Amino acid sequence: MNTAFFDSDGSVRNGWKILGFMALLYFCYQVMGVFKLWQLLGGEWGTAFAVLMATLICLRMEGEPLPRLKAKPALRWSIEFGAGALGGLVLMLLIAGCVFALHGFHWQRNGAAGWKDLLAGTWLYLAVGVNEELLYRGYPFQRLTRGTGAWVSLALMSLWFAYDHWDNPGMAGSTRAWAMLNIFLAGILLGIGYLKTRRLALPMGLHLGWNWAQGSLLGFGVSGTMDAHGWMNPIFEGRPEWLTGGPFGLEASLPCAVLCIVAIVGLSFWKPSPKSRGSEA
């Protein structure tokens, strides 16, 4: 049976699965509102919980096995998450170092920020990473990859990822163009991280390390927002925003674009052991 709704194997086509996931996610959002779970879990963790529930329900409806925490997979997941977090941290430090070397800003120690702020930033950006990776590199991305192939799904989901940041604060003039380009490139990088491992651990770690270093450690805006007090306080020196990223953050700068492309090329050439690859979702 090969129709608009079913493929030749009799399975529901991946496009309909994605639409079903989005409808289910909307339903989960409404249920959480009725039972006031947003107040209990908080904004980002509440959204992550809703996406996780929609994902698990879709997997169960497909008859797919749900993820199980066994010793070796859990250890590998932890290693990949840690490697991703370190990679995101180093990448953002390199971007900041380039802008600093080009006299885009100088730093002052923010005496108002302490260890509690670093920990609060970790918790916040962990929630952001879990939420956005489940949504943009999770079930919809994986089903789109099945239907269209890796590169088409990478491009489409990265465009969606960038578009969802379109109206963030700090989007003035050419900053929007640089921000959209760099968030698109970040989406490609994160998507390749998933495709190389077939686990969300690496992209979740990358996402956390990137945001935490940019906001909690270095004190820049994070996609136009600044929800965590930075350990350092950057003082801009009047250089153009295409160099510094301005209030949007370093991810709206030219050095960010260059280093993201370098990271994408490097990760593309990485060949993990076939035995280390996980399964979808």
Q: What is the DSSP string of the chain?
A: ---SSB-TTSPBPHHHHHHHHHHHHHHHHHHHHHTTHHHHH-HHHHHHHHHHHHHHHHHHHHTPPPP---HHHHHHHHHHHHHHHHHHHHHHHHHHHHHHHTTSEEEEE-TT--HHHHHHHHHHHHHHHHHHHHHHTTHHHHHHHHHH-HHHHHHHHHHHHHHTTTT-TT--THHHHHHHHHHHHHHHHHHHHHHHHTSSHHHHHHHHHHHHIIIIIT---BTTB--S--SEEEEE-S--HHHH-GGG-GGGSHHHHHHHHHHHHHHHH----GGG-----
Q: Which of 25, 49, 66 is the last residue of a domain?
A: 66
Position 190 in a domain: yes
pLDDT exceeds 60 at position 281: no
- The answer to whether residues 77 and 15 belong to one domain is no
- The answer to whether residues 147 and 28 belong to one domain is no
- The answer to whether residues 81 and 46 belong to one domain is no
Closest CA to 245 of 181, 188, 194: 181
pTM, full prediction: 0.93
- The answer to whether residues 148 and 43 belong to one domain is no
- The answer to whether residues 120 and 23 belong to one domain is no
pLDDT score, position 278: 62
pLDDT score, position 73: 77
pLDDT in tens, 233-274: 999 998 999 999 999 999 999 999 999 999 999 999 998 877
Position 195 in a domain: yes
Closest CA to 17 of 2, 5, 9: 5
pLDDT score, position 69: 44
Other CB atoms within 10 Å distance of the CB of residue 236: 16
- The answer to whether residues 18 and 51 belong to one domain is yes
pLDDT in tens, 18-71: 999 999 999 999 998 887 777 788 888 999 999 999 999 999 998 876 654 445
Position 281 in a domain: no
Average pLDDT, the chain: 91
- The answer to whether residues 45 and 87 belong to one domain is no
Position 215 in a domain: yes
- Name the residue with tokens 């939420």: 131
pLDDT score, position 195: 96
- The answer to whether residues 87 and 169 belong to one domain is yes
- The answer to whether residues 174 and 204 belong to one domain is yes
- The answer to whether residues 257 and 188 belong to one domain is yes
pLDDT in tens, 219-233: 999 998 866 679 999
Whole-number percent of the chain with pLDDT over 70: 93
- The answer to whether residues 258 and 220 belong to one domain is yes
Report the C-alpha gap between 173 and 180 in whole angstroms.
12
pLDDT score, position 57: 95
Q: Which of 24, 42, 66 is the last residue of a domain?
A: 66
- The answer to whether residues 149 and 229 belong to one domain is yes
Tokens of 255: 């050095």
Domain span holding position 12:
1-66
The count of structural domains within the chain is 2
pLDDT score, position 70: 46
Segment 76-96 mean pLDDT: 97
Q: Which of 66, 96, 111 is the last residue of a domain?
A: 66
pLDDT score, position 250: 96
| 148 neighbors 260 (Cβ within 8 angstroms) | no
**CA Rg value for the chain:** 19
Position 214 in a domain: yes
Whole-number percent of the chain with pLDDT over 90: 75
Report the C-alpha gap between 121 and 125 in whole angstroms.
6
pLDDT in tens, 160-210: 999 999 989 888 888 999 999 999 999 999 999 999 999 999 999 999 999
pLDDT score, position 186: 98
